[in-house]
């Protein structure tokens, strides 16, 4: 098992534990409004960090290659509010075209 998968599995266990412990600790009380807003933003932030680090890194180096172009195309498609299938097709198509052109 690679380090990435070990960390992913550990984070899944921690996430499940926190979600299961929440109702037990709070006992029916409401969370503060600020905490609810922060918790709602965390999954998007973590997913974004994972996508960027997996797309733009090779070990400890920052790598700008065809994957970066595909990621940029996906960001543009999301900004234009395209559906997820079009976002994936834009990213994959852009990556393929850049790889074919450069390599």
The residues near 76 (Cβ < 8 Å, ≥ 6 apart) are 90
The pLDDT tens digits for 20-69 are 887 778 777 887 899 889 989 999 999 989 988 888 888 888 888 899 99
Q: Is the pLDDT of residue 1 over 70?
A: no
- CA 86 from centre of chain: 18
The answer to whether residues 12 and 43 touch, using CB atoms and an 8 Å cutoff, is: no
Angle ∠(39,42,46) on CA atoms, nearest 5:
160
Report the chain's mean pLDDT, rounded to a whole number: 90
pTM over cut 0.85? no
- Can you tell me the distance from the alpha carbon of 51 to that of 90, in angstroms, rounded to the nearest whole number? 16
């Amino acid at each position: 098992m690679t380090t990435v998968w070990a960390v992913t599995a550990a984070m899944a266990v921690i996430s499940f534990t926190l979600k299961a412990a929440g109702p037990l600790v709070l006992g029916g009380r409401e969370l503060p409004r600020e905490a609810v807003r922060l918790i709602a933003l965390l999954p998007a932030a973590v997913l974004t960090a994972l996508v960027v680090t997996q797309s733009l890194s090779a070990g400890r180096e920052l790598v700008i290659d065809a994957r970066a172009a595909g990621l940029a195309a996906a960001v543009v498609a999301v900004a234009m509010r395209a559906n997820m299938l079009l976002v994936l097709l834009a990213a994959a198509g852009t990556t393929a075209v850049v790889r074919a052109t450069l390599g």
